[in-house]
Structure 1
Amino acid sequence: MVYSTLLKTCVLAASVWLTACASSPQAIQLSPKFSAPTARMGNNSPVHVRVSDQRQNKVLGSRGGTYRETSVVTIANDLSLAVEKPLAKHMATMGYDTDSLRADTADLHVIFESLVYNHPKEDGVGYDMDMLAVVNVVASRGNERYEGRYRVKRKQKFFNAPSESHNAELVNGLVVEVLNSMFEDPKLVGFLRKN
């Protein structure tokens, strides 16, 4: 009886330990939410918005743990579709005409080159996550063209591993941050506003 109870306790302790060492895969729902713009910079300029996902690696990264190769973080939905509509809506609130059929409409093609959300292999105090987002932008109108590349990189430390909802919040925030950085480029803004 004592042996049986001891065995059950050992099995329970081992399973708890293994659970703590292993992290299950997560598929994050991408749904970026933009804050209201501080100014209407668009001046009613016509812009058609397109988003492409050209990441070579569709896995964002690993949540770490003993089995880091299987505890991966991915995007559950289509990145292009998840970003394109909210971005166009955000630009409309910024004063751009994103529904225009005019001949002089600028084409804004936002290309996701990289999106990383990864727990590094190195052990340390706390729980680090490396975050990186890179987008290439090609804006064209007739024979005119402007290209820009925008990058956001940061490391965030947590006391415990973030939950799935917290991970989703951080990844969506990273997407919004890199897209907002486009509008801090005066040359891109000037190109889009050219009438």
Structure 2
Amino acid sequence: MLTESTGDIMLRLIITLTFSLGLINACALSPQVVDIYPQVKVSGPAYGQGRQVDVQVVDKRDSQILGSRGGVYDSSSTITINNNLQSAVLATAQDGLKQLGFNGNSGAQPATMVITINQLTYDTKQKNLLYYVDLEASISVTTTIAGNKHTGNYKTQGNHQFGQAPDAAKNASILNKLISDTIDRALSDNNLAKFILNN
């Protein structure tokens, strides 16, 4: 008669336990709230050259809910922004523009910059006990100087893989990086720099 060794039995127990924990984790994901405070360190020439710029932020999103964490109760396991996204993006953009030399010390025509938040989404799916998180941020930046306008559109995507559903701190980290990268790309846009310098 064939009998299982102790090692085989332990291996089966470990596999069963791992699978069971994965199912429990997938079935019981609670909602999360995250704080969004992006930061930028803009590289490139300081094309502001002392010009004054007035920055406004418009949020076109319908909700503070970014998406779902997944699981069986998909509709209730939401991930939501806790703070005011407009204010956070405004503070970050103003800081980035200061780094680029916009300080109001020159006599150049002042500029107006309107940053529109078009999209910020969080999507997740689970496959083979792994969690796949897809993020997307989209903003538009319209800059006006003496009636002349320049508009740039910037989209950033992030794809992440985790062994378990990410906690609120991890989700806040990857979302902040996504938004920071998007704002950085906008302010580092060579076409925007050329428009500013030529007006």
Q: TM (normalized to structure 2)?
A: 0.79
Identity of aligned residues (%): 27
Report if the CA contact (8 A) 1:111-1:135 is conserved.
yes
**Cα distance, 1:123 vs. partner?**
3.4
Correspondence for 1:11: none
The one of 169, 174, 177 equivalent to 2:178 is 174
Report if the CA contact (8 A) 2:51-2:107 is conserved.
no
Correspondence for 1:119: 124
Report if the CA contact (8 A) 1:45-1:193 is conserved.
no
Correspondence for 1:68: 74
Correspondence for 1:107: 112
Structure 2: gaps of 5 or more residues: 1-19
After TM superposition, the structure 1 = structure 2 runs for residues 137-176 of structure 1, keeping only pairs within 5 Å, are: 137-176=141-180
Structure 1: gaps of 5 or more residues: 1-13
How has the CA–CA distance of structure 1 residues 38 and 148 changed in structure 2, closer, same or farther, with 3 Å as cutoff?
Answer: closer
How has the CA–CA distance of structure 1 residues 85 and 108 changed in structure 2, closer, same or farther, with 3 Å as cutoff?
Answer: same
**Cα distance, 1:181 vs. partner?**
1.2
- Whether 2:197 is the aligned partner of 1:193: answer yes
Q: TM (normalized to structure 1)?
A: 0.81
SS in structure 1 opposite 2:115? strand
Please say which structure displays the higher CA radius of gyration.
Answer: 2
Paired AA for residue 116 in structure 1? T
How has the CA–CA distance of structure 1 residues 55 and 128 changed in structure 2, closer, same or farther, with 3 Å as cutoff?
Answer: same
Correspondence for 1:8: none
Report if the CA contact (8 A) 1:56-1:113 is conserved.
no
Paired AA for residue 176 in structure 1? S
- Whether 2:140 is the aligned partner of 1:136: answer yes
CA RMSD of aligned residues (A): 2.6
> 1:135 & 1:81 partners in 2: Cα distance?
15
> 1:30 & 1:46 partners in 2: Cα distance?
27
Correspondence for 1:4: none
